[in-house]
Structure 1
Amino acid sequence: MFLERVARLSEYRGELHVYLREKMNTVAPNLSELIGEIVGARLIAQAGSLTNLSKCPASTVQILGAEKALFRALKTRGKTPKYGLLYHSSFIGRATQKNKGRISRYLANKCAHASRIDCFMEEPTNAFGKALHSQVEERLHFYQTGATPKKNIEVMRSVISELNRAASSKDEGEERVKKSKKKKKKDKKSSKTNKLKRKLEDTEDDTAIKSKKKLKTLPTPEKVSKKKKDKKS
């Protein structure tokens, strides 16, 4: 019984993870692409909603989940916490002890950007989340090696240009499909009209042949005169 219960709980956990992934990909695709579905869902739950999270500044996002520690530090005039729920992100685990606070500050800034994009964007897409994820990776590499990362403006402009290209190609594809459908309809109409014309031509040919046959079978005036002479004789 105990093993069956454990197996059911593990299956239920997998189903919940799949459900959470689907919901986060539809509600907040950029935030889930940046820090993962679980941490992103915890941030949204702690803030109350995605709109509330989008209204929060980066400093508030950084310490979400560590409010008790913050107020305790303010009362005792101790050290304030560097991170809250963002501690469960893989970026902070990969950073060194000296750079944990710096990367948490930078990650909170990118989470604030991602939540605002998810909240106010009309068509959901995870392109911005991928770009923000690459920016955090570059920042980690910068702390380790000193290589200068790309600027935020350049990255955002490149993502917007890619989205515009994809939208234009999509519109061109839709126009091509519409044109092909119109051509098919025109071809169908022309084929129907051609069939009707052929039928009319065939009927006209048949009537002409029948009329010629009737004319051939009708007696000529010479034949009629010969018959009258034969009767008189």
Structure 2
Amino acid sequence: MTDGPPLIVTRPEPGNAATVERARVMGFDVHAMPLFDARAIDWSPPKPADFDVLLLTSAFAARLAGPGLAGLASLPAYAVGAATARAAEAAGLTVAMTGSSCAQRLLDDMTSENIHNILWLCGRDRSEFDARAASLTALPCYAVDPAPVPGEWDALIAAPAILLVHSARAAQRISQLVGDSRAHLSLVAISPAVAAAAGDGWRDLAIAGHPDDVAILAQARALWHKGAK
């Protein structure tokens, strides 16, 4: 597959390296172009008795929360995506449900089970969700900051390429970086919300069927075959 358009992976580490390795095994001409860096921030765990469940929408919450996460281990965890669920379990949490779509869909499923008080362990910069009749308390434990644009970026996006986008903030930054010169670029988003944040004008805009690497790389492979024709 290396004779087709290159694949650009924009997510932060350590996820970037994992995606790059999977893509390389699949035969992509893959390039690691992380546009953000993730880091832990100070936080204090509340009393778990004040909440029914713990919501995790990113694996970073489990990876970067630090020792304070142990104080919330009594709460059943609800995770968006298999990677987040794996990170939660590795951190000592018990995962009650893994959402196979987006955070809003998982929240809808949670509130339909009469879950009333949700503690959302999240990033400093985050999307807004509708918790319906439940109470959703956001508790930031990490931050994802813009990283310097990699040196190869301009050359890679000057020609046809496929970009993988794992967050709405990444989609917005990519949109700003490429400007109006995007008709030759294809983009694969991890969710409908991420695709919406990318805007219009791309050669192709595809959405992964599930919020995980398997699904996003499957869509990338379909676009690769289309671009290689």
**Normalising to structure 2: TM-score of the pair?**
0.24
Please tell me whether Structure 1 or Structure 2 has the larger radius of gyration of its CA atoms. 1
Greater fraction of residues in helix? 1
Greater fraction of residues in strand? 2
**Normalising to structure 1: TM-score of the pair?**
0.24
